């Protein structure tokens, strides 16, 4: 849920309408000021020096090359492969490697070019002169190639492949110098048809809820982690016959070396609590991190491994939502870059954790079919008009083919300064009932959200107080824990589906 | 049995063909496509020299499965070894020749001939040696000399090598001096210790070899007794 996906009620009394128009105008001015300036997509804008980070790893049990030589060789390769590398007089490269490096560099902003990023690099010794005069070194990596065409101001992902390369180095009076850089083998990633893997998992019709505890939303969910409150909430969800929830892993908390162990431990506890209630969990990664820097992809892949390595086999994982509402970042980062980044993350998960289905939670039906050939199930959010809900869903189902389609956010706020709380709650329930009635074709729906929140940070919806107020009041439960009519609507829907399933 | 005339002709043709080959290869310019790397750059007789031949195509990319020939002369005998390059490289282990000097390695395949890569072969560890100590023309001085000191293969030990000379009496080392070789020989003048307790000897240490002189008290007789 973000500031761009709030449903705005129309048809206001004229007198109040004038007042509101002033607020809306102020909001408009404010949003214009705050909206990031979108730019054309040039590859250069996405290249940073962080790619020079020497996160090398060497295969093998016994090495002929001493450690310092291995480090030196890997550093040479990494430095030469900066996408915007220019030769310096002391560059440790010559011959065919120099030609290859120049050809691979992406120096002119005015010309189309392609840049290869390499993830999961591993080096190994292939042939070493015993006196360390000359050395053949093999590298294996996942190569991701992006291309940029300045004429059309676009960046797009071209190819993902497992690649093996050969580098040759020889000793000069200045030390090791790279002489060749050759591709030995390229294997395009072919994951085949994965739908058969998940037939059983998606035979369930998911009735779910987006979840944060009332006392600890967004970042605070994981830092505070109120276990007893969570346990009671999960009981409530299970008692509603709801069989799934969607959660968000705050990137900073799960990525920071000081907190990641604690974060992973809490996530394991959370999944076990869900298992007690037989609740499946759709885990959303990279929350509150709108950063798609291409040269950081290697670190982002490491982040995925750091989170998934210990939980990917947990029986209560429904799937992985790589990024919440990534399409909202298109204007700032460029569609090609965002989609390329998502594709790389998706492929990494599919290769490393083949039993985990993946999706991207698109912010609206118009974006729902993004990367449909990459992801395993289609998910999108519905904050639009109730009218046309089923038509939009049907159109997406048709285009999605045999891939499951889920609406992973729907619902509405009851906060409205111009309507009584009781009336707003009735309207919330009525809207939800209409949406659920039209969602028969969906393979799952997830309501936003179980709870009203005591606090919503500015980093979630911005500083504007009315935005925060709206966001705090989407709950099926009131802040005192009592049920709103919408809770009964969802429960009836869940019970109905459960009954049909049992029949 | 081959008669003498035929044998002479055969030998002559062999020499001529060999010299033609040498002339032909020497006339040909080395190609960047074939490189020879060898090390260590200074070796001792018998030490392993790691030689690697690199072969590339005209674009600088590694050749594969091509047969290359390594050629070198060891103790005056021309030797060649064949091997196949794998991803551009083929390696050979060659023992350094017995005779101190230079070994030149080069390679060829088809029309290509490589650069020449030298490895210097120096003398190895000395075998045991002898030295003599005689009275000098000056009082209290002794002439210490040796023949040329050689390694196991007869190569003179390098003049860069130092010999440690220790005067040793009953109480241990009295004084120490270092002597640099000259043309492989030790030629040195030393003075007797001021005082010592017999027996008195000189110990010469060169690398791992330790040699003692005979008893020298008679040569330093005037000052041999402590009071």
Q: A138 to chain B: nearest residue by CA?
A: B87
Kindly compute the dihedral angle of the four CA atoms of residues A120, A123, A126, A132, in this order, to the nearest 10 degrees.
170
Using a CB-CB distance cutoff of 8 angstroms, which residues of chain A are in contact with residue B48? Answer: 130
The answer on A117 and A204 residing in a single domain is no
CA distance B200 to B218: 9
Name, of A36-50, A484-498, B189-203, B213-227, the range with top average pLDDT: A484-498
Last residue of a domain, one of A159, A188, A217: A188
CA distance A247 to A261: 18
Using a CB-CB distance cutoff of 8 angstroms, which residues of chain A are in contact with residue B56? Answer: 96, 180
In the prediction, which pLDDT does B29 show? 86
Hey, where are the domains in chain B? 1-28, 31-121, 131-223
Q: What is the CA radius of gyration of chain B?
A: 27
CA distance B218 to B213: 13
Last residue of a domain, one of A149, A166, A188: A188
The answer on A367 and A227 residing in a single domain is yes
In the prediction, which pLDDT does B72 show? 97
In the prediction, which pLDDT does A26 show? 46
Phi first, then psi, for residue A428 (nearest 5°) are -60, -45
Q: Which residue has the tokens 């990459």?
A: A374
Which residues are paired to A396 by β-bridges? none
The answer on A198 and A184 residing in a single domain is no
Fold of B131-223: Immunoglobulin-like (2.60.40)
HEC letters along chain B: CCCHHHHHHHHHHHHHHHHHHHHHHHHCCCCCCEEEEEECCEECCCCEEEEEEEEECCCCCECCCCEEEEEEEECCEEEEEEEECECCEEEEEEECCCCCEEEEEEEEECCEECCCEEEEECCCCECCCCEEEEECCCCCEEEEEECCCEECCCCECCCCCEEEEEEEECCEEEEEEEEECECCECEEEEECCCCCCCCCEEEEEECCEEEECCCCCCCCHHHCCCC
Query: Can the peptide bond before residue B199 be classed as cis, meaning omega within 30 degrees of 0?
Result: yes
How many other CB atoms are found less than 10 A from the CB of residue B24? 10
The answer on A213 and A103 residing in a single domain is no
Last residue of a domain, one of A188, A203, A234: A188
- The CATH number that domain B31-121 falls under is 2.60.40.1930
Which H or E element spans position B117? Answer: strand B117-121
In the prediction, which pLDDT does B80 show? 96
Query: Regarding predicted confidence, which is higher, A117 or B51?
Result: B51
Query: Chain A contact for B28, CB < 8 A?
Result: no
Residues of chain A with pLDDT under 50: 3-13, 16, 20, 23-40, 49-53
Q: How close is the nearest chain B Cα to the Cα of A171, in Å?
A: 9
**B208, B124 Cβ separation under 8 angstroms:** no
Q: Report the predicted TM-score, pTM, of the whole model to 2 decimal places.
A: 0.76
Query: Chain A contact for B86, CB < 8 A?
Result: yes
**B83, B65 Cβ separation under 8 angstroms:** no
In the prediction, which pLDDT does B169 show? 92
Using a CB-CB distance cutoff of 8 angstroms, which residues of chain A are in contact with residue B52? Answer: 127, 129, 133-134
**A130, A161 Cβ separation under 8 angstroms:** no
In the prediction, which pLDDT does A91 show? 84
Nearest Cβ partner for A134 among B37, B60, B61 = B37
Q: What is the CA radius of gyration of chain A?
A: 26
In the prediction, which pLDDT does B104 show? 97
In the prediction, which pLDDT does B195 show? 87
Nearest Cβ partner for A126 among B38, B39, B87 = B87
The answer on A473 and A391 residing in a single domain is yes
- Residues B79-110 have pLDDT tens digits of 999 999 999 999 999 999 999 999 999 999 99
Number of Cβ pairs closer than 8 Å across A and B?
61
pLDDT band of B35, cuts 50, 70, 90: very high
Domain B31-121 and domain B131-223, same fold? Reply is yes
Nearest Cβ partner for A127 among B38, B39, B86 = B86
In the prediction, which pLDDT does A7 show? 41
* CB half-sphere exposure, A109, CA atoms < 13 A: 8
The answer on A113 and A157 residing in a single domain is yes
The answer on A397 and A449 residing in a single domain is yes
Q: How many domains does chain A have?
A: 2
Q: Can you give the CATH number for the domain in which A430 is found? A: 3.20.20.80
Q: Is residue A355 part of a domain?
A: yes
Query: Chain A contact for B95, CB < 8 A?
Result: no
ipTM field = 0.76
To test the contact with chain A by mutation, choose from B38, B40, B56, B87 the residue with the greatest count of A C-beta atoms within 10 A, namely B87
Q: B90 to chain A: nearest residue by CA?
A: A127
Q: Which domain holds residue A201?
A: 193-502
CB within 8 Å: A136 and B89: yes
The answer on A177 and A137 residing in a single domain is yes
Q: How far is CA A60 from CA A65, A111, A139, B64, in A?
A: 11, 41, 13, 24
CB within 8 Å: B91 and A130: yes
């Amino acid at each position: 849920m973000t500031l761009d996906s709030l449903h705005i009620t129309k048809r206001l009394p004229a007198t109040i309408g004038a007042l509101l128009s002033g607020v809306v105008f102020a909001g408009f001015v404010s949003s214009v000021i705050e909206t990031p300036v979108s730019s054309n997509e040039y590859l250069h804008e996405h290249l940073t020096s962080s790619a020079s980070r020497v996160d090398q790893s060497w295969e093998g049990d016994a090495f002929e090359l001493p450690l310092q030589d291995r480090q030196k060789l890997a550093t040479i390769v990494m430095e030469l492969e900066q996408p915007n590398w220019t030769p310096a007089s002391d560059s440790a490269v010559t011959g065919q490697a120099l030609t290859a490096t120049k050809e691979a560099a992406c120096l002119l902003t005015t010309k189309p070019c392609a840049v290869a990023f390499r993830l999961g690099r591993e080096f190994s010794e292939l042939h070493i002169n015993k006196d360390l005069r000359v050395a053949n070194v093999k590298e294996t990596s996942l190569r991701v190639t992006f291309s940029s065409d300045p004429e059309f101001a676009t960046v797009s992902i071209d190819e993902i492949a497992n690649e093996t390369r050969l580098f040759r180095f020889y000793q000069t009076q200045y030390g090791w110098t790279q002489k060749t850089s050759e591709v030995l083998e390229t294997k395009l990633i072919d994951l085949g048809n994965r739908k058969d893997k998940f037939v059983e998992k998606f035979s369930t019709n998911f009735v779910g809820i987006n979840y944060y505890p009332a006392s600890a939303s967004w970042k605070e969910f994981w830092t505070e982690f109120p276990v007893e409150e969570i346990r009671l909430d999960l009981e409530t969800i299970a008692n509603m016959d709801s069989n799934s929830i969607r959660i968000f892993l705050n990137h900073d908390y799960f990525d920071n070396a000081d907190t990641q162990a604690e974060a992973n431990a809490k996530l394991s506890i959370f999944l076990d609590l869900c298992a007690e209630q037989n609740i499946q969990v759709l885990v959303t990664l990279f929350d509150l991190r709108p950063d798609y820097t291409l040269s950081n992809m290697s670190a982002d892949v490491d982040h995925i491994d750091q989170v998934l390595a210990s939980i990917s086999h947990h029986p209560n994982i429904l799937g992985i939502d790589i990024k919440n509402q990534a399409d909202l970042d298109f204007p700032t980062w460029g569609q090609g870059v965002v989609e390329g980044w998502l594709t790389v993350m998706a492929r990494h998960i599919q290769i490393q954790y083949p039993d985990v289905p993946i999706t991207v939670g698109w912010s609206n039906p118009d974006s729902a079919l993004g990367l449909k050939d990459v992801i395993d199930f289609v998910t999108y959010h519905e904050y639009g008009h109730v009218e046309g809900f089923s038509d939009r869903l049907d159109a997406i189902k048709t285009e999605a083919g045999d891939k499951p389609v889920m609406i992973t956010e729907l619902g509405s706020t009851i906060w409205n300064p111009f309507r009584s709380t009781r009336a707003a709650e009735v309207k919330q329930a009525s809207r939800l009932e209409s949406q659920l009635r039209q969602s028969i074709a969906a393979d799952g729906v997830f309501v936003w959200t179980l709870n009203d929140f005591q606090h919503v940070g500015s980093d979630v919806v911005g500083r504007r107080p009315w935005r925060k107020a709206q966001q705090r009041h989407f709950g099926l439960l009131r802040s005192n824990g009592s049920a709103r009519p919408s809770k009964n609507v969802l429960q009836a829907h869940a019970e109905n589906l459960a009954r049909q399933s049992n029949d | 049995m081959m008669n003498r005339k035929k044998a002479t002709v055969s030998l002559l043709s062999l020499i001529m063909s060999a010299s033609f080959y040498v002339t032909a290869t020497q006339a040909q310019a080395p190609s960047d496509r074939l490189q020879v790397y060898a090390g260590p750059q200074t070796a001792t007789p018998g030490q392993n020299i790691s030689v690697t031949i690199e072969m590339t195509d005209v674009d600088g990319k590694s050749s594969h499965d091509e047969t290359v020939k390594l050629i070198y002369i060891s103790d005056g005998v021309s030797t060649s070894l064949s091997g196949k390059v794998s991803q551009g490289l083929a390696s050979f282990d060659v023992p350094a020749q017995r005779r101190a000097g230079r070994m030149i390695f080069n390679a060829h395949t088809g029309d290509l001939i490589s650069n020449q890569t030298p490895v210097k072969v120096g003398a190895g560890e000395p075998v045991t040696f002898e030295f003599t100590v005689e009275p000098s023309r000056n009082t209290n001085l002794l002439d210490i000399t040796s023949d040329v000191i050689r390694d196991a293969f007869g190569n003179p030990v390098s003049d860069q090598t130092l010999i440690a000379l220790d005067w040793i009496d009953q109480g241990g080392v009295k004084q120490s001096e270092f002597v640099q070789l000259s043309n492989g020989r030790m030629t040195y003048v030393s003075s007797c210790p001021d005082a010592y307790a017999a027996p008195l000897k000189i110990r010469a240490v060169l690398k791992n070899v330790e040699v003692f002189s005979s008893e020298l008290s008679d040569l330093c007789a005037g000052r041999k007794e402590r009071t």
